[in-house]
Amino acid sequence: MSLRKSAATVLSKVVKDGQSLTVALDGILESIENSRDRAFIQALCYGVVRHYHRLDFILRQLLSKPLRKKDTDITMLLLIGLYQLQYMRVKSHAAVSETVSAANKKSWAKSLINGVLRQYMREQQSFEQKADKDDVAGNSHPEWLINIIKNDWPEQTQCLLSENNKQPPMTLRVNLRQSNQQDYVDLLAKHSISAKTISFCASALVLDQPVAVEKLPGFNDGMVSVQDTAAQLAAELLDVQAGQSVLDLCAAPGGKTAAILERQTKSISMLAVDIDEDRLGRVRENMQRLKLKANIMAGDATKPGEWVQEQMFDRILVDAPCSALGVIRRHPDIKILRREADIEELQAIQQKILTLAWDLLMPEGVLLYATCSILKQENEQQIECFLNSHANAEEVVINAGWGVKRHFGRQILTGDQGMDGFYYAKLIKR
């Protein structure tokens, strides 16, 4: 199978079947041995998904009528062709000819792809100008998502939409049990990898250029992991002390669990719970690589009675299921797969998990509520509602050199100081 055909297969699974880009890509890439070919397929897929709404708009101008659903693979090849011509350093004649040949035995599709791509090349400036004038195509976001961001962050809307369409930096979390920021920066330099420290997060480094994880010194020995700075802040905010018991709810893939454990030189009791048994496999792998110990358990956070066995905790991290609108730049398929109706359903789940987790918290214990969302209804409005209904809950104001203080909690907007969009609220049980 050609590389472009492989990419079209992945994209069809996302657009037609609703599969996540990560899962769809994993299914194809495991059969591709050449690392350069794998990188090319990945670049095509992420690029088309990131700019999907713009490319789709242009394609609709080029076609007299949409292709049938059974020909989604050809639609995806057309989008791949347009993406190469506009965004990649692929020679135009190669982009056209290779995309045409990827249609294999569908001769009608070959002539269609050839005609459409060549028309785009002739009138590229005109098509791009039309896309710029359209709100959905110009911002490459669905209309409902543009509107919901405008409603919450009217002054920051354009910046947020722009940040969502950028490739994120590669950020590392240094295992503080084994090293520290500066020592690891020096170690990277010896391997010709340059990085910057983050002043407000003792474990975070941002690479000047992304590299494959196997090239990171000490990665296999647990010296470092890949994790955005915003997610790393949870460990410091939770402020776990020696001998305390910790519950990490909705823990997979285990990045925050590991970050909490890496800050401890003395023993703590850690229970990491997630509903997805498959994703818990990632947690176990991470714990093994990082040489950390945690009790890992499959369980539904909305039904703690099934797994908690009357245990209470000094610290609880509620890493709530959310719309993930703060991490679109890492998971651009959110713009295709997420629906406006999902937000209300997620709100109800968040509220339930938060309420049930509170019952598991010891008196004077701390609960940290976190989402990778920028929506107020999932964040500060959730905390306001919770505080109004729980007299024994008191907010601990987060004073920090990052994010924006809200009436309740602290919000990081996507791109702020290079970080993903994140929200934190810290509560103490009186």
Q: 228-259 pLDDT, tens per residue?
A: 999 999 999 999 999 999 999 999 999 999 99
- Residue 5: pLDDT band (50, 70, 90) is very high
Predicted confidence (pLDDT) at residue 265 exceeds the cutoff of 80: no
In tens, the pLDDT along 29-52 reads 999 999 999 999 999 999 999 999
Q: Which candidate in 201, 250, 322, 372 is catalytic?
A: 372
372 in catalytic set: yes
Calculate the alpha carbon distances from 323 to 356, 379, 392 in Å. 20, 11, 29
The whole-number pLDDT of residue 309 equals 85
Predicted confidence (pLDDT) at residue 1 exceeds the cutoff of 80: no
Calculate the alpha carbon distances from 57 to 43, 68, 84, 118 in Å. 21, 17, 16, 17
Average pLDDT over the chain, rounded to an integer = 96
Report how far apart the first and last C-alpha atoms of the chain are (Å, whole number).
62
In tens, the pLDDT along 103-131 reads 988 889 999 999 999 999 999 999 999 99
The helix or strand, by DSSP H or E, that contains position 72, with its residue range, turns out to be helix 72-87
Mean pLDDT confidence for 330-342: 98
Place of tokens 């987060």: 398
Whether domain 171-226 has CATH 3.30.70.1170: the reply is yes
The whole-number pLDDT of residue 106 equals 87
Domain extent listing, the chain: 3-134, 171-226, 229-429
Contact 315, 238 (CB under 8 A): yes
Contact 51, 84 (CB under 8 A): no
- How many C-beta neighbours within 10 Å does residue 82 have? 26
Place of tokens 């602290």: 410
Whether domain 229-429 has CATH 2.60.120.480: the reply is no
The whole-number pLDDT of residue 411 equals 98
Predicted confidence (pLDDT) at residue 319 exceeds the cutoff of 90: yes
Contact 222, 291 (CB under 8 A): yes
Long-range contacts, 359-363 (Cβ 8 Å, 24+) = 359/304, 360/247, 360/304, 360/308, 360/311, 360/312, 360/313, 360/316, 361/312, 361/313, 361/316, 361/429, 362/312, 362/313, 362/314, 362/429, 363/429, 363/430
Instruction: Taking the CA atoms of 130, 134, 139 and 141 in sequence, report the sign of the dihedral they define.
Output: negative
The whole-number pLDDT of residue 311 equals 92
Place of tokens 């176990």: 284
- Residue 15: pLDDT band (50, 70, 90) is very high
Mean pLDDT confidence for 262-266: 85
CA contacts within 13 A on the Cβ side of 417: 19
CATH of 3-134, one of 3.40.47.10, 2.30.30.90, 3.10.350.10, 1.10.940.10: 1.10.940.10
